[in-house]
Amino acid sequence: MKIPDEMLNILYGNYFGYVCTSDRNDQPHITPVFFIYEEPLQKIFFITNDRSKKVKNLIENPNVSMTVDIRDTKNPFNNEGVMVQGTAEITERGPIYFLSEETLQLYRDIYLEFKGKYQAVIENRPLGENDVIVQIKIKKMVYWKGPHFKSVKLG
């Protein structure tokens, strides 16, 4: 499936994503995260603390959405963004020495990419003991610019 360039530009060109999870009572929760998008896998990755509310929510309910957008205070027709909906997977939680080689490799790759993308902001902070990588398997993406919408369904 070819992802439209407008969507790719947004997902590759921005730092912040706003992740929305909800608990078993359908109470939503939003947090800003740093993320990376991997087009070949159609996945989004972000690193978070395993004790955070979003991780608790994701264990109860793996459905997740994330919005990445560009905002213009002067002209609403320049507002542009992507909302991704999908399901989250938290790869093996627990002490790092019990992780499988595959997961460790993933951690290394993602973390290196994070460091590449967010060098300016995260400096040399290593992956902490309670950090987990959350992967979002993308099911649907909605793109908007001003009043115009476009959406893509995956998988």
Partner 1 sequence: MKWIYEIIVVSIPPFSLLPYRYSILLQLLLLLVIGLILGFIFDLKTVSLLYGSIGILVAVSWSLLILQLGPTLRKFRAPLSMNENELLERYRGILFHRKHYEALPGLAIFITFMVYLFNFGSNLIEYWLGKDPSIVLLLFVSLLIWDICYRMGLGVWTSILALWRSINLKKLAEKRIELEHTPYTELRYLRKLDINNVFFGIISLLLLPIIQQDNYLVSIILAYFLFISLTSVTSAYLVSKVPWLPPDIYNLVRDSSFAYVGNSLKGVTHVTPVVYIFDGQSIFFNTSKEAKKMKIMKKNKKVAFLIDKRDTSNIYENKALLVTGEVKIYGLTDIPFRFIQMLAARTLFLTKYPDYTRKYATSELPKAWQLTPIISRILVEIKPVKIIYWRGAKQITVPV
Interaction site with partner 1 (CB under 8 A): 15-16, 18-22, 24-32, 61, 63-67, 69, 71, 73-77, 79, 81, 83, 85, 120-122, 147
> Smallest distance from the beta carbon of 7 to partner 1, in angstroms?
15
Ramachandran sector of residue 8 (left: φ over 0; alpha: ψ -120 to 50; beta: rest): alpha
Cβ nearer to partner 1, comparing 12 with 15 = 15
- Alpha-carbon distance of 113 to 49, in angstroms, equals 18
| Closest to 35 in 3D by CA, of 138, 141, 133 | 133
> Smallest distance from the beta carbon of 8 to partner 1, in angstroms?
20
Cβ nearer to partner 1, comparing 4 with 77 = 77
Cβ nearer to partner 1, comparing 94 with 124 = 124
79 C-beta neighbours (distance < 10 Å), count: 15
Amino acid making up residue 119: Q
> Smallest distance from the beta carbon of 5 to partner 1, in angstroms?
21
Cβ nearer to partner 1, comparing 111 with 144 = 144
Measured CA distances, 149 to 8, 144, 155 (Å): 15, 4, 20
> Smallest distance from the beta carbon of 96 to partner 1, in angstroms?
21
